[in-house]
Amino acid sequence: MRGDVFAHIARQPDSSFVGAWTVFMLRSAFQPIFAFQDGKLKIAAYEGLLRPTRNDEPVQPGEFFSKIPADQRMHVETLSRTVHLLNAGTFLDPSTLIFINFDPSVFIDRALTDKVLRDLRLVLHEAGIDHNRIVCEMTEHPARSETTFLEFVAELRDRGFRIAVDDYGADDSDIGRIEKMRPDIVKFDAGWTIHLMGTRPGIALLSTMVSRFQDHGIQIVFEGVEESWQIEVTEEIGANMIQGFALARPQVVPGDFLQAWRHAQERASNAGSRAAGTPHLPVHHRAPARAFGHRRS
C-alpha cells in the first residue's frame, strides 16, 4: 500500500486495523442501520464511528476531535476513513452499505479534494470493497470553501458514490444543503424527530416531509431511535431506514456482528413492533486473513 496515511495504520492479531495519531490509537466501531422491508427489519448498512483511546483508556470522540489542530484535520479525517474501510472489508457483510463521514470544513482547495479522491480509490481497492457500497455522509459542519466542497460532492456522485446529508432539521439552512448537494439519502436529526414524534400533528408533519423527499428519489434515515415505541412510529411515518440504541449500539471491531443482530432482534420483538416481524439474519462475514498491503484475490 502506498500513501502517507497508511504508514499510520497497523493490523492487529485479531485481524482488525487501528490507526495512530500522536498519542491516540484510533479504532473502528460500526453501528447497524436497519431498513424496513416487507414488514420486517433488515440490516442494510453500517456507519463507521471512531473510537479513540489513549494509553488503552477510551477518549470521547468529541474530546479527541477538539484536540486536532486545523492543519491536521484532513489527515485525521482520511486516517479515520481508511481504518473504517479496511475494517469493513474484513468484518462486515459484503451485501451491506457502508456510511463514512466527511467534514465539509476541511475542504479548502482543489488539490486537497483530489488527494482525498485518490486515497479513497486506493483504500477501496486495498479493502476489496466496491464503490457502489459506499455512502459518503456529509456532516453538518459549515464548509470553509462552499465551491470547493460542492465540486467534491459532484465528483463523488459522478464516480458512482452515494451522497448522504446528516442531521437534517427544519432550518432553512438545512433545506439549502439539500438543494445544493442533491443527496441520495437524508438523515433526520434525532432531537428534532423525537420531539415531533410525541404528538399526532408532529407525526403527520414528518410523514408529509418523508413523502416529499421520497418523491424526489431521496431515502430517509431516522437517527437516534432509542425507545422501542419509536420503531413502530418510524414505520408508520414511512421512513426507509432507522438507526439507534433501540435496536443496536455501535460495536468495536472485531465484534461479533451476528450476535449483535440477535440482540437487536430481541429488542424489536420485545417492543411488540409489527415492523420487526421475523427479521432476516445477515450472513456473518469475516474475510480471511491476508498480509497487510496485499489485496486478497
Per-residue pLDDT of the chain (297 residues; tens, 9 = 90+): 445 778 899 999 999 999 999 999 999 999 999 999 887 899 999 999 999 999 999 999 999 999 999 889 989 999 999 999 999 999 999 999 999 999 988 888 888 888 899 999 999 999 999 999 999 999 888 788 889 999 999 999 999 999 999 999 867 668 888 999 999 999 999 999 999 999 999 999 999 999 999 999 999 999 999 999 999 999 999 999 999 999 999 999 987 766 666 666 666 555 544 444 433 333 333 343 333 333 333
pLDDT at position 292 is 35
Residue 164 forms part of a structural domain:
yes
**pTM for the whole thing?**
0.86
Residue 250 forms part of a structural domain:
yes
Query: How many domains are contained in the chain?
Result: 1
CB 205 within 8 A of CB 196: yes
Residue 294 forms part of a structural domain:
no
Residue 293 forms part of a structural domain:
no
d(CA 97, CA 32): 10
C-alpha cell, 144: 470553509
pLDDT at position 111 is 87
Burial class (CB in 10 A: 0-12, 13-18, 19+), 203: middle
pLDDT at position 5 is 78
Block residue for cell numbers 420485545: 270
pLDDT at position 265 is 60
Residue 53 forms part of a structural domain:
yes
pLDDT at position 192 is 92
Residue 15 forms part of a structural domain:
yes
pLDDT at position 258 is 61
pLDDT at position 56 is 93
CB 93 within 8 A of CB 261: no
Which structural domain, as residue segments, surrounds residue 249?
4-270
**Per-residue H/E/C for 36-99:** EECCEEEEEEEEEEEEEEECCEECCHHHHHHCCCHHHHHHHHHHHHHHHHHHHHHHCCCCCEEE
Residue 296 forms part of a structural domain:
no
Which CATH number belongs to the domain containing residue 39 in this structure?
A: 3.20.20.450
Residue 58 forms part of a structural domain:
yes
Burial class (CB in 10 A: 0-12, 13-18, 19+), 70: exposed
CB 12 within 8 A of CB 18: yes
